[in-house]
Structure 1
Amino acid sequence: MTRHPYLSPAPPRVLAHRGLVTADDAAHGAVENSFAAVAAAHAAGVAYVESDCHLTADGVVILFHDDDLSRVTGDPRKIADVRLPELEDLMAGRGGLVTLPQALEAFPDVRFNLDVKAEAAAEPVGRLVAPHAERVLVTSFSDDRRRAALAAARTAGAALRPATSPGSSTVARLVAARRLGLRATVRRLLTDLDALQIPERQGPVRIVTRGLVDAAHAAGVEVHVWTVNDPEDMQRLLDLGVDGLVTDRADVALAVVNER
């Protein structure tokens, strides 16, 4: 299986979860998924930034995790109900709003891991990333949204499809198939994937195991674990063979990786 250019060079990889917000940045008002957070990750030497995509009331894709503004700004409105200029005003003192086109243009050597959070955002995300498919991975908890974004990228003329990681239903079927020893089903579920981006545990259920890592690698699929912030956990997971760490502490993870 040919490795997608998104996954070059060889692992391990550090993926800055919603960018990087240091304690000093936070003290100056910066928040996750802001322009400042992406810039801080880039300045720290991170090659990969994980972020999230929503669509504004006037049809602009922005990097933002929640579907409303309450946690980040104290405003209870939905992202889908607010126009871009007002969102820019709300984020002005919080590190600055960043749209997906701005992120792709301002950080041409950053590889973006994009989680499509809203159904309405899927087609615009695919269209926007089409010219940048070699440095974008598209994912979503919903496989339907993920596939819609990939289809839109193809329709928009992408020279290759963006890299991709499965939704939660596919991950659940994959874990179940592994436990039942259904090797053919495991191989089928891993087909056309580039990475398996998963939590170490889901409640009491362990997701990341040596067997799952080995099965993914046998299919040419990388394993990226989220969200890993403790250095000892980082070391333990890398020792287990995982290929990427999705982390709020990209600065710490880079130090861990560079020491290995």
Structure 2
Amino acid sequence: MTHPWFAGAERPRVLAHRGLVTADGARHGVVENSFAAVAAAHAAGADYVESDCHLTRDGVVVLFHDPDLARVTGDPRRVDEVTARDLEFIMAGRGGLITLEQALDSFPAVRFNLDVKAEGAAEKVGRIVAPHAHRVLVTSFSDDRRRAALAAAATTGDGIPPATSGGTTVVTRLLGAVSVRSGRLARRALAGVDALQVPERRGRLRIVTPRLIDYAHAAGVEVHVWTINDPGDMTRLVAMGVDGIVTDRADVALGVLR
């Protein structure tokens, strides 16, 4: 049975990576994972927004990628060292802070792909997304963290669970299955996940190959590749058979792929 996160959306899927920061937005100080960036992705026509979840000192789940504020805001503190009010002030001139609850409430038509970055955020992410599970996919590099969020969603919600994408352990097991050409081991590695979200390569290791795509599809799992910003690479990967493109340039991808 196909999870509603996948149903009724155009393909190939375009996932707006941390929202969308256009050239004009950047000139006005907008940064990734801000309220303005999510709004821009929605306005551009993206069905999906990929984002990241961290927990502030006072226990608020916010959309933020890095464990600290340095790269995005110039503030050296960690996200878990500041309150949501502190972060709201810091982000005021950068497109505005957006919490997970605000994202789900303010953009009811958007489907969210949420990477749980902080271990302490997992349970709270699960509880928050439970009422919106039909339009949320939960992932994490840590499969334990991903499962913790899914478990919290199951405990809180009374409907379907969120969709989910495998973490590092799942990907490693799948690559092992691909290397020995075992569809059986591939199906075992992918059990319980709906999508595989991976880079095309990691250093010298090519991850996305026709065989990997075939094994994933045979297991009923979609393949989404990150982070692809070149139009030629987008069309090449889609021609190879990938189901979704995670991109900083959702506006470009929508134009190229639709």
- Normalised by the length of structure 2, the TM-score is 0.98
Output the CA distance in 1 between the equivalents of 2:210 and 2:254.
23
What letter matches 2:238 in structure 1? L
Equivalent position of 1:236 in the other structure: 236
Equivalent position of 2:140 in the other structure: 140
Equivalent position of 2:127 in the other structure: 127
What letter matches 2:7 in structure 1? S
What letter matches 2:70 in structure 1? S
Off by >2 Å, runs of 4+ in structure 1: none
SS, match of residue 95 in structure 2: coil
Output the CA distance in 1 between the equivalents of 2:236 and 2:158.
38
What letter matches 1:34 in structure 2? S
**Residues 67-114 of structure 1: per-residue CA shift (max 9 Å, x gap):** 000001111111001001110000000000000000000000000000
What letter matches 1:189 in structure 2? A
Equivalent position of 1:89 in the other structure: 89
Output the CA distance in 2 between the equivalents of 1:229 and 1:8.
25
Equivalent position of 2:114 in the other structure: 114
Deviation at 1:166, TM superposition (A): 0.6
Deviation at 1:158, TM superposition (A): 4.0
Output the CA distance in 2 between the equivalents of 1:184 and 1:234.
30
**Residues 179-206 of structure 1: per-residue CA shift (max 9 Å, x gap):** 1123221111111111100000011000
What letter matches 1:31 in structure 2? V
**Residues 27-73 of structure 1: per-residue CA shift (max 9 Å, x gap):** 00000000000000000000000000000000000000000000011
Indicate the larger mover: 184-193 or 127-136: 184-193
Output the CA distance in 2 between the equivalents of 1:158 and 1:194.
20
Output the CA distance in 2 between the equivalents of 1:103 and 1:36.
11
Output the CA distance in 2 between the equivalents of 1:218 and 1:50.
25
Equivalent position of 2:37 in the other structure: 37
Equivalent position of 1:103 in the other structure: 103
Equivalent position of 1:156 in the other structure: 156
SS, match of residue 6 in structure 1: coil
Output the CA distance in 2 between the equivalents of 1:252 and 1:246.
12
Output the CA distance in 2 between the equivalents of 1:158 and 1:141.
27
**Residues 111-170 of structure 1: per-residue CA shift (max 9 Å, x gap):** 000000000000000000000000000000000000000000000024011000011121
Report whether the alignment pairs 1:4 with 2:3: yes
Equivalent position of 1:191 in the other structure: 191
What letter matches 1:3 in structure 2? T
Q: Percent identity?
A: 69
Output the CA distance in 2 between the equivalents of 1:70 and 1:100.
21
Deviation at 1:11, TM superposition (A): 2.5
What letter matches 1:27 in structure 2? R
Indicate the larger mover: 62-71 or 150-159: 150-159
- Normalised by the length of structure 1, the TM-score is 0.97
Output the CA distance in 1 between the equivalents of 2:158 and 2:79.
28
Structure 2: unaligned runs, 5 residues or longer: none
Output the CA distance in 1 between the equivalents of 2:165 and 2:247.
17
**Residues 191-243 of structure 1: per-residue CA shift (max 9 Å, x gap):** 11111000000110000011111111111110000000000000000000100
Indicate the larger mover: 165-174 or 20-29: 165-174
CA RMSD of aligned residues (A): 0.8
What letter matches 1:80 in structure 2? D
What letter matches 1:60 in structure 2? V
Q: In the comparison of the two structures, how many residue pairs are matched?
A: 257
Output the CA distance in 2 between the equivalents of 1:28 and 1:255.
24
What letter matches 1:134 in structure 2? H
What letter matches 2:5 in structure 1? Y
The answer as to whether partners of 1:143 and 1:168 remain within 8 angstroms in 2 is: yes
Report whether the alignment pairs 1:61 with 2:64: no
What letter matches 1:82 in structure 2? V
The answer as to whether partners of 1:133 and 1:158 remain within 8 angstroms in 2 is: no
Structure 1: unaligned runs, 5 residues or longer: none
